[in-house]
Structure 1
Amino acid sequence: MNLTSLQAISPIDGRYRKTTEGLAAYFSEEALIKYRVFVEIEYFISLCETNLPGLENFDKNQYTALRNIHEKFSESDALEIKETEKVTNHDVKAVEYFIKNKFDSLSLQEFKEFIHFGLTSQDINNTAIPYSIKLALAESYYPAITTLITKIEALATEWKDIPMLAHTHGQPASPTKLGKEFLVFADRLNIQLENLKSIPNSAKFGGATGNFNAHHIAYPEVNWVSFSNHFVNEILGLTRAQHTTQIEHYDQFAAQCDALKRINNIIIDLDRDIWTYISKNYFKQKIKAGEIGSSAMPHKVNPIDFENAEGNAGIANALFEFFAAKLPISRLQRDLTDSTVLRNIGVPFGHTLIAIHSTLRGLNKILLNEAALHADLDDNWAVVAEAIQTVLRRENFPNPYEALKELTRTNSKINAASIAEFIEGLAVEEGVKAQLRTITPFNYTGIF
């Protein structure tokens, strides 16, 4: 299939391919097949390591040749397995036959029946898929989100001393520092990222219905629970669910989806805030030669990166939410609905990566318009009313809140002059007035 980006149905594999193509190593059909082969090979080697009767004479020098089967897995290998699947109509069985053919070529025929020994398909799927998710997080997602957080923290440092009018309920509020507002998002992302990292990559490994029936009937003397815990936890680096049906219960994967969704929500919140700051002219955007903002209005430079990020994070969240709600539910000991759903797990990861990269691209394009921030502060001297009435409360001045309320709501325009006039008319000590005179919208910014 010679698919080009122009022919792809999904924008992940089309328009945004450059951003998401790295995810093919974890979530493509070829990747799924490769990780199935990986689990099957490592399982066979682990059986050999236990000196299981029937495998005690296996030449351990062959381990390298066996591992080459998955380490050197190629597109042609994947195509061979897909051709077999046309006959078997069973994807995991096709993997088993592929490995058996490899054993033939290595003159290991006498050991072939220990491939996939005692297992059901979900022992392979429910280890291969969590393994691919683990790698995707470690090698693709974590570096991307960390880069975004680092950029946000850098902007927070750069703008730590820039005063800015805050807005609560969309109305002018007590001033803040621009850098501190960026730190809010960095802190939130860091906390949720640590929460995500703490969730184990859970896997199922226990035979047809989770009870090691086939394993136990063949080798009752082997502690299969201990064996499988070691294999899944130590060899694969996952966390084995101890009591399952035929499939992994997906509760931990649901938790990962929820955690990824929370991080995306923070990114959306950031995107919307920056979008609004641009609309207020607090930020301008770097202009790229030849770039067009509007097909009709030549002057426009639109905040398209933040809008793109918001849209993609929203799509990702819709899928993460569906996965978290659907996958933990399966009729009796299993139904097949999880199978087709799991084939889509790369999709929200793709949209999430697009959102992260779009946000980062947007942040790299914004230019601080300090004059606009200054003008907005100077146009809203009423915000120092909180400071004045709080100092007057300290001095036990009668009804200070009400006095400032009357001032700020009756005058048509509050400015530096009207505030100064109000202060001079106060019946308080000169030292208090001196303090009040120092308060401006530019320095009433708290301790951050």
Structure 2
Amino acid sequence: MSKKLEEMVAGYGWKFIGRHELFGYELTRDDRERLESPIPGLGRYGDSTDFLCNITSGRRLGLLRFMVMKEYFFALARIMKSYNGKFKHQKIIQELSAEDIEKIQGIGITAEEVRQAELIERVTEHDTAAAGDYLKLKVLHLFPELESSVEGLHFAGTSEDPMSIVMGLMGNELFGHFIKFLSTYCLDQITFVETCEQNGPLIIPEFTHQQSAEPIALCTKSVIGLNAIKYLVKKLMINRDTFQPFSGKMGGATGQLMCHYAAYPDIDWWEFAKDFVESFGLHYEPVTAQSVTYVVEAQIFMTITAILNEVIKITSDFLSLASCPAQLFVKVKRAGAKGSSIMPGKSNGWGHEGGRKMLRESIALLLNLARELMDFPHGGDMGRSYLCRNLGNVFMPIFIALPRISKELKSYQPNPKKISWILDEYPGMAGSSIQTVLKRAGIDGDPYRELQKISINNDGSYANAEQFGRGLESFMEKFQLPVELREELRGLLNWQKLVEPAAKKAKEELEALKIFFRRTFDAADKLLYISKLPHDAE
């Protein structure tokens, strides 16, 4: 091995797989699929998004649609079984045996069947009509004895009836995963603070207008953003442990259940529709257009954008603290890592930088969804079909970004020397407290102007600790302040004392936040209907 090769390999550290393994590596099927993916979210970032294949893929959509149509058929069969009204001799579904139900449950459960239904769509030019026809065809093909009941499949329904439920289930699933990802992110933020403050509050400057303002403990600074997220998350909940679900409908062509009542006017179809929609864990709107109104979805999407904006702010503020020239936080050196392809003297916040852009991408897409889903003429049109099918693409950047931001944060640690330096460099941060005490003490003159003279040098630069200390002593002597007041003012230069009340409150808030985000992580399970379904029959 040449010396250069040996040095390069050694520089990668223990994580490097080894040169022989490297040059002997062969592509797997997954490798090839990711390399050939035109979308980075499914290629480069596939590890973060693979789970979406079981939520928003065409395969999953097709299987969910079959499932909803069959469940509607079974629900209708139960109504017909007990129906003894005017048209009791014209039941759309004859009484089904357990064996009949099992037969129907056994169709529409494979990806092949989804594709076969798409072949019918080539002729019908309507995907849900094709899916309904496919189920009828297959029942007639395999079980001709059920011919008298086959029209019960998709009876009196429009495509939006099963599809609104399918899209509602997909939306719930994505929403549930979002809450889990967000809760994990927030708990990671809390863990970082606790690690940094094992020995007491970590005091750093708080900035307003990009200038040093007052000292603040890291826990206090962190609680501000996390409490904002908590407030917004609570707006997404209908009670302590339940999130607002997405919507679904079962109302026929224009939401009036007109065809249902035309066929069987003596059945309470409103109750039937409500029970059916809510059986999937979805929000039910009593009267709809052809589709749901999407006001629930718009509210959820808009609230999520506000949450993401808060995450971006938290991330940006931390990145600012970790950036030059302050560098109050620094990355822990890791063997093999490179901060640049050409500049060896730096390390970058890759995860934070890229994560913010990903979140802004999702914000733009969510805002578009909130606006466009509600924008349909009269009873509805097909625009919602594309928008809802694209839900996975809208949420994908979030699922990539939040873990990357957390992973990036975990690679940092406080930089005590720089923190000590910056606190020493800007003692004027105590000025607001000192002048407030002077006002309380009722001294002559204008405390604000006196502190301003001490805090800002003649050349406009901020006074450092030595300069500020001399100025404060001169001021106290000039005004002949009482000894006790002088000691009180000097004590206000103790950063620990200044931040203590807020830091104590922040610690209490952090404990409450831990409990809250652990609870929301668990509560999100109620939204995960799809995850609880049996695996596809392949």
* TM-score, normalised with respect to structure 2: 0.78
Quote the Cα distance in structure 1 between the aligned partners of 2:156 and 2:277.
15
Quote the Cα distance in structure 1 between the aligned partners of 2:196 and 2:492.
21
Aligned pairs for 1:73-84 within 5 A: 73-84=109-120
Displacement of 1:224 in angstroms is: 0.8
Quote the Cα distance in structure 2 between the aligned partners of 1:97 and 1:223.
27
Displacement of 1:303 in angstroms is: 0.6
SS state at 1:208 partner: coil
Q: What is the aligned partner in structure 2 of residue 259 from structure 1?
A: 303
Is 1:184 the counterpart of 2:236? The answer is: no
Match of 2:71 among 42, 45, 65: 42
Is 1:296 the counterpart of 2:342? The answer is: yes
Show CA shifts across 1:275-295 (max 9, x none): 101112111113333332222
Does the 8 Å CA contact 1:156/1:181 hold for their aligned counterparts?
A: no
Quote the Cα distance in structure 1 between the aligned partners of 2:107 and 2:304.
34
Displacement of 1:62 in angstroms is: 4.3
Quote the Cα distance in structure 1 between the aligned partners of 2:422 and 2:313.
22
Is 1:428 the counterpart of 2:473? The answer is: no
Is 1:248 the counterpart of 2:285? The answer is: no
Displacement of 1:151 in angstroms is: 0.8
Does the 8 Å CA contact 1:152/1:185 hold for their aligned counterparts?
A: no
Does the 8 Å CA contact 2:217/2:499 hold for their aligned counterparts?
A: yes
Q: What is the aligned partner in structure 2 of residue 271 from structure 1?
A: 315
Quote the Cα distance in structure 1 between the aligned partners of 2:192 and 2:336.
27
Displacement of 1:56 in angstroms is: 5.2
Show CA shifts across 1:351-398 (max 9, x none): 111121111111121122122112100111111111211111111112
1:62 and 1:360, CA in 2 relative to 1: closer, same or farther beyond 3 A? farther
**Share of identical aligned residues, percent?**
24
Does the 8 Å CA contact 2:358/2:398 hold for their aligned counterparts?
A: yes
Q: Which amino acid letter does the alignment assign opposite residue 171 of structure 2?
A: I
Displacement of 1:255 in angstroms is: 1.1
Is 1:113 the counterpart of 2:151? The answer is: yes
- Single out whichever of 318-327 and 414-423 deviates more from structure 2: 414-423
- Single out whichever of 363-372 and 208-217 deviates more from structure 2: 363-372
Quote the Cα distance in structure 1 between the aligned partners of 2:107 and 2:442.
82
- Single out whichever of 190-199 and 385-394 deviates more from structure 2: 190-199
Displacement of 1:131 in angstroms is: 1.2
Is 1:328 the counterpart of 2:395? The answer is: no
Q: What is the aligned partner in structure 2 of residue 194 from structure 1?
A: 234
Is 1:153 the counterpart of 2:190? The answer is: yes
Displacement of 1:251 in angstroms is: 1.3
Q: What is the aligned partner in structure 1 of residue 165 from structure 2?
A: 127
1:46 and 1:422, CA in 2 relative to 1: closer, same or farther beyond 3 A? farther
Does the 8 Å CA contact 2:92/2:151 hold for their aligned counterparts?
A: no
Does the 8 Å CA contact 1:12/1:351 hold for their aligned counterparts?
A: yes
Displacement of 1:441 in angstroms is: 5.5
SS state at 1:6 partner: helix
Quote the Cα distance in structure 2 between the aligned partners of 1:207 and 1:320.
28
SS state at 1:9 partner: coil
Quote the Cα distance in structure 2 between the aligned partners of 1:261 and 1:74.
36
Is 1:397 the counterpart of 2:443? The answer is: yes
Displacement of 1:183 in angstroms is: 1.7
Displacement of 1:80 in angstroms is: 2.0
Q: Which amino acid letter does the alignment assign opposite residue 377 of structure 1?
A: L
Q: Which amino acid letter does the alignment assign opposite residue 306 of structure 2?
A: R
Q: Which amino acid letter does the alignment assign opposite residue 415 of structure 1?
A: A
Count of aligned pairs between the two proteins? 444
Gaps of 5+ in 1: none
Q: Which amino acid letter does the alignment assign opposite residue 270 of structure 2?
A: V
1:22 and 1:173, CA in 2 relative to 1: closer, same or farther beyond 3 A? same
1:58 and 1:402, CA in 2 relative to 1: closer, same or farther beyond 3 A? same
Displacement of 1:110 in angstroms is: 2.4
1:428 and 1:201, CA in 2 relative to 1: closer, same or farther beyond 3 A? same
1:66 and 1:422, CA in 2 relative to 1: closer, same or farther beyond 3 A? farther
Quote the Cα distance in structure 1 between the aligned partners of 2:448 and 2:77.
80
Does the 8 Å CA contact 1:155/1:182 hold for their aligned counterparts?
A: no
Does the 8 Å CA contact 1:156/1:183 hold for their aligned counterparts?
A: no
Q: What is the aligned partner in structure 1 of residue 253 from structure 2?
A: 208
1:66 and 1:188, CA in 2 relative to 1: closer, same or farther beyond 3 A? farther
Higher relative contact order (CA 8 A, sep 6+): 2
Quote the Cα distance in structure 2 between the aligned partners of 1:340 and 1:189.
30
Is 1:237 the counterpart of 2:291? The answer is: no
Q: What is the aligned partner in structure 1 of residue 499 from structure 2?
A: 445
Q: What is the aligned partner in structure 1 of residue 7 from structure 2?
A: none
Does the 8 Å CA contact 1:155/1:179 hold for their aligned counterparts?
A: no
Displacement of 1:85 in angstroms is: 2.0
Match of 1:169 among 198, 201, 209: 209
Show CA shifts across 1:225-262 (max 9, x none): 111011111x1111121222212221111111111111
Q: What is the aligned partner in structure 1 of residue 465 from structure 2?
A: 415
Does the 8 Å CA contact 1:159/1:179 hold for their aligned counterparts?
A: no
Displacement of 1:218 in angstroms is: 0.7
Q: What is the aligned partner in structure 2 of residue 284 from structure 1?
A: 330
Gaps of 5+ in 2: 1-28, 84-90, 239-243, 504-538
Does the 8 Å CA contact 2:41/2:397 hold for their aligned counterparts?
A: yes
Displacement of 1:433 in angstroms is: 1.2
Q: What is the aligned partner in structure 2 of residue 6 from structure 1?
A: 35
Does the 8 Å CA contact 2:361/2:397 hold for their aligned counterparts?
A: yes
Quote the Cα distance in structure 2 between the aligned partners of 1:18 and 1:152.
22
Q: Which amino acid letter does the alignment assign opposite residue 418 of structure 1?
A: R
Displacement of 1:64 in angstroms is: 4.7
Q: Which amino acid letter does the alignment assign opposite residue 34 of structure 2?
A: S
- Single out whichever of 333-342 and 100-109 deviates more from structure 2: 100-109
Displacement of 1:323 in angstroms is: 0.7
Displacement of 1:8 in angstroms is: 2.0
Is 1:372 the counterpart of 2:418? The answer is: yes
Displacement of 1:66 in angstroms is: 3.9
Does the 8 Å CA contact 1:163/1:178 hold for their aligned counterparts?
A: yes
Is 1:30 the counterpart of 2:59? The answer is: yes
- Single out whichever of 407-416 and 41-50 deviates more from structure 2: 407-416
Q: Which amino acid letter does the alignment assign opposite residue 81 of structure 1?
A: A
Displacement of 1:420 in angstroms is: 4.8
1:61 and 1:237, CA in 2 relative to 1: closer, same or farther beyond 3 A? farther
Displacement of 1:312 in angstroms is: 0.4
Does the 8 Å CA contact 2:426/2:465 hold for their aligned counterparts?
A: yes
* TM-score, normalised with respect to structure 1: 0.93
Is 1:222 the counterpart of 2:260? The answer is: no
Quote the Cα distance in structure 1 between the aligned partners of 2:345 and 2:165.
54
Quote the Cα distance in structure 2 between the aligned partners of 1:228 and 1:268.
41
SS state at 1:4 partner: helix
Q: Which amino acid letter does the alignment assign opposite residue 403 of structure 1?
A: E
Does the 8 Å CA contact 1:35/1:132 hold for their aligned counterparts?
A: no
Does the 8 Å CA contact 2:215/2:429 hold for their aligned counterparts?
A: yes
